[in-house]
Amino acid sequence: MGTGSWAMFGSLNINIQEINTYIIFKISFVMWITRRWGDTRELGVELPILPTTVIGSYPRPRWLRHMIRLWSMGRVDDKALDEAFRDSVRVVVREQEEAGIDIPSDGEMWRDEMVEYFAERIDGFRFYGPVRVWGNNYFNKPAVVSKLSYREPIVVKEYMFLRSVSNRAVVKVTITGPYTIADWSFNEYYGSKEELTFELAKIINREIIELEKAGALFVQVDEPALTTHPEEMDWAVDAINQVTKGVGIKLGLHVCYSDYNLLSRYFDKLSFSQFALEFANRGYRDLGVLSKLGDREIGLGVVDVHNRSIEDPQHVSKAIEKAMTYVEPEKIYVNPDCGLKLLPREIARKKLEVMVSGTKIVRKELLSKGIERTILRG
Amino acid sequence: MPVMIMQHGIYPRPRGLARAISRFSSGKMSQEDLERVYERYTERFFKLLKGLGYDRFSDGMFRWDDIFNPLISGIGGVVVDGLRRFYDNNYFFRQPIVRGRISYDEPKISRMLVKSLSIARNLGIEPNRVSLSLAGPYTMATNALIETSDYNLESFMRDYAEKVIYSEIEGSLKEGVVNIDLHEPSIAVMGNAKLNTVREIYEEIARNFPKARIWAIMYFGYNREGVRMFREASTRLGNIGYVVDMVEAPESAWNELGELLGSGGIGIAIINSRTTKMERYRDIAPKLFKVLGRYESDLYLTHNASLEFLPEKIAVRKLRLLRRFAIKINRKVQKS
Ligand SMILES: [Zn+2]
């Protein structure tokens, strides 16, 4: 592209009218390319074909959990706890990198829970106490009690620290999406859940813009609740799209343990370049929805995070090959089904290693066809 | 007749109890110590409800993980499986899988209730104020995965009622517990296709146990046909009662509610157990007054779903609020 073709044009003998037409054609072609591959050019990042990544959370090291307990009893101070958090990020990032992960996260070391963490950092929420999610498992369900407002950057510091400790070109930052925050909160203030969700979308959008300013290249919005009220999907999708407004970096959307047939009807309406979905858990049923991806990418869930038995690399490579019958390899990222935090740490690590080994099997086949790299797309 | 107040279902498990249960499961607490913690919180719960003047209530259901567990672990032919979403809530239950014909050797739940009843008696609470809570036949059948050709949905409902519910009612009646709360969100939120069978089952239960009061607790929605069906059943048999979720009902439902009251007991749910927002008397009272004059039998005010969807602190506030509403309403009725 570029100078070569201009030179060729220069050697042709054509009239001004034609030149203008050609220039207009050329400019619009370049603009089209920029729009479609725009972030590629801006970000300038190449990745190995089938980039491996995580969904977000990783088991907290035992000693970090111990430190948190000591801190909650007042036996260590904030400074010591913060140091422990940072050290744990160093460790889990290194662990992901050693396992061969191309795009690591900080394991969400700082976050106890995906909604609670954001609600604590947005003005207008309050906590009354835990409610049950299942069995003897509870979470601090937040309540919206006044107009929500953006207080200060929520996860930018986390990103900056992750960036400083990872040696990979791209790292992933995760953010809980507006619909899931609204669905998992009590609403005492807004007239409707819809109104609340749109208000949250503005806040999340602002946070993503802050992340972009700080240099982040890849943000994943987590919306596990998205398909739970099918009658709300139309406006929920509009609200989620609000978070992408004015954002130039790569945005993924993670939706897990959900109705993918329903979700796939909205693939082309959702302004995200990647959908990170859980497939291992459902035995790769519903892979057919990948045929509806259009020009989007799939973050293919290939290891089950609720099962302690470790998959073998062939299981992973077969899953990728199956996905390749629907999607070009350049549009496949490989990841676990969901966050790994509920697994014992050794198992989480082994699952990542297996995931990478399985990916390498497919990469070898692709290499023989000359397919070696892909490009980070926005 | 003054309106009464009712609590039903699972009360939010207090933090201290949740902590004790996880200590017990990781082997850091003995069964005896855990029992003492259960007793302490059950006693605290009964004191609260008695203190607030509730006319009838559950035992808090502190030993329950959800409306199906531990009940289903005592049913032969049923396997306790993975987690499944409970209707449209961010709340999950262990799903029953029906693998063969079911059997039920002992009334596990009413035996569990005996422990609570002795605490209640010590506090001067008679067993007839405490209810036994179970998943209703329709709700059990629609949330179970029936993997055997021995049953279809209807025959499973009947067998579950005859084997499990009957055995539990017998067990409860022996202890003086007469109020049997059958939780039936499925009637409120699902279609009407099986309602005839549901009605037959409820009427059979009521006929078989004339001394018991069989309550269908419907929530997460308002199903006009379901309510109408229970009105008829309750008019035919005086020992059938039903709770109607007026929080989730359309405004127009208030107009028809007057006609939907049977001669058995009715519970009108006016408190939303899925929001921390407090209800206002001035929003609810005018609607209630339209209905009250038309009703002669036992009428309870209550909350819709179990209170466990709320943090405990808010559940307490809502229980107090409901009591204040009832007092105000009764005063006004007396004056007029
Ligand atoms: Zn997930």
CATH code where residue A55 lies: 3.20.20.210
Range of the domain at A12: 1-37
From the CA of B206, how many Å to the nearest CA of chain A?
A: 32
Three-state SS at A149: strand
Residues with Cβ < 8 Å from A290, sequence gap 6 or more? A298, A323, A326, A327
CB contact under 8 A, B83 and A134: yes
pLDDT mean across residues, chain B = 94
pLDDT of residue A43: 58
The shortest CB-CB distance from A136 to any of B21, B83, B313 is to: B21
Ligand 1 centroid to residue B127 C-alpha, Å? 46
Distance CA A275, CA A297 (A): 6
The shortest CB-CB distance from A131 to any of B65, B88, B311 is to: B311
From the CA of B184, how many Å to the nearest CA of chain A?
A: 19
**How many angstroms from the chain centroid is the CA of residue A237?**
17
CB contact under 8 A, B90 and A135: no
pLDDT of residue A5: 29
Q: Which of A165, A148, A157 is nearest to A211 (CA)?
A: A157
- DSSP letter string, B113-149: HHHHHHHHHHTT--GGGBEEEEE-HHHHHHHSEE--T
pLDDT of residue A20: 39
- DSSP letter string, B72-97: GGGSEEEEEEEEEE-TTSS-EEEEEE
Ligand 1 centroid to residue A314 C-alpha, Å? 23
CB contact under 8 A, A132 and B277: no
Contact residues on chain B for A135, CB-CB shorter than 8 A: 65-66, 69, 94
Same domain? A230 vs A354: yes
ipTM of the complex, rounded to two decimals: 0.92
* Cβ proximity of A351 and A15 under 8 Å: no
Distance CA B99, CA B148 (A): 5
Task: Give chain A's domain count.
Answer: 2
Q: Which of A15-19, B84-88, B209-213 has the lowest mean pLDDT?
A: A15-19
pLDDT of residue B262: 58
pLDDT of residue B292: 82
Q: Which residue of chain A is at minimal alpha-carbon distance from B275?
A: A186
From the CA of A135, how many Å to the nearest CA of chain B?
A: 5
The shortest CB-CB distance from B92 to any of A133, A136, A186 is to: A133
What is the 8-class DSSP label of residue A335? E
Same domain? A117 vs A6: no
Report CA torsion sign: A213, A218, A224, A225.
positive
Same domain? A201 vs A268: yes
In 10 A of CB B258, how many CB atoms?
13
Distance CA B257, CA B263 (A): 13
User: Furthest-apart CA pair in chain A: how many Å?
Assistant: 83
Same domain? A245 vs A220: yes
pLDDT of residue B282: 96
Mean pLDDT by 10 residues, chain A (378 residues): 30 35 36 37 79 98 96 96 98 98 98 95 97 93 98 97 97 98 97 98 98 98 95 98 97 95 97 96 93 96 94 98 97 97 96 98 97 94
Distance CA A44, CA B68 (A): 55
Q: Which of B110, B108, B243, B104 is nearest to B178 (CA)?
A: B110
> Does residue B74 surpass a pLDDT of 70?
yes
Flag whether residue B25 sits within 8 Å of chain A, measured between CB atoms. Answer: yes
Distance CA A28, CA A39 (A): 17
> Does residue B46 surpass a pLDDT of 50?
yes
pLDDT of residue B263: 67
Distance CA A14, CA B215 (A): 90
Ligand 1 centroid to residue A176 C-alpha, Å? 10
Same domain? A123 vs A7: no
pLDDT of residue A190: 98
Residues with Cβ < 8 Å from A75, sequence gap 6 or more? none
* Residue keyed to tokens 């990042």: A45
* Cβ proximity of A374 and A45 under 8 Å: no
Q: Which residue of chain B is at minimal alpha-carbon distance from A129?
A: B311
- DSSP letter string, B10-61: PPPPPHHHHHHHHHHHTTSS-HHHHHHHHHHHHHHHHHHHHHTT-SBB----
**How many angstroms from the chain centroid is the CA of residue A207?**
14
Flag whether residue B12 sits within 8 Å of chain A, measured between CB atoms. Answer: yes
From the CA of B92, how many Å to the nearest CA of chain A?
A: 5
Ligand 1 centroid to residue A278 C-alpha, Å? 7
Burial (0-12, 13-18, 19+ Cβ within 10 Å), B259: exposed
Question: In Å, what is the CA distance from B269 to each residue of A135, B217, B303?
Answer: 26, 10, 5
* Cβ proximity of B100 and B150 under 8 Å: yes
CB contact under 8 A, B276 and A143: yes
Same domain? A168 vs A68: yes
Report, at the CATH architecture level, how domain B4-335 is classified.
Answer: Alpha-Beta Barrel (3.20)
Q: Quick one: average pLDDT of B287-295? A: 80
* Cβ proximity of B290 and B254 under 8 Å: yes
Same domain? A183 vs A92: yes
* Structure-token pair, residue A101: 């992960």
Three-state SS at B219: coil
pLDDT of residue B294: 65
pLDDT of residue B336: 76
Distance CA A199, CA A182 (A): 10
Q: Is the link from the previous residue into A178 a cis peptide, with omega within 30 of 0?
A: no
* Cβ proximity of A131 and B275 under 8 Å: no
Same domain? A53 vs A139: yes
Ligand 1 centroid to residue A337 C-alpha, Å? 7
The shortest CB-CB distance from A138 to any of B18, B92, B310 is to: B18
CB contact under 8 A, A134 and B92: yes
* Structure-token pair, residue B67: 């409306």
| 3-class SS shares of chain B: helix, strand, coil, % to 5 | 50, 20, 30
Same domain? A110 vs A147: yes
First to last CA, chain A: 20
* Residue keyed to tokens 């973050």: A299
From the CA of B264, how many Å to the nearest CA of chain A?
A: 34
φ, ψ dihedrals at B251, nearest 5°: -50, -40
* Residue keyed to tokens 């609570």: B116
Task: For B109-142, write each residue's pLDDT tens digit.
Answer: 999 999 999 999 999 999 999 999 999 999 999 9
Residue A210 identity:
E
Burial (0-12, 13-18, 19+ Cβ within 10 Å), B181: buried
| Helix (H), strand (E) at residue B269 | strand B266-271
Confidence of residue B260 (pLDDT cuts 50, 70, 90): low
Flag whether residue B41 sits within 8 Å of chain A, measured between CB atoms. Answer: no
Q: Which of B230, B225, B323, B308 is nearest to B273 (CA)?
A: B308
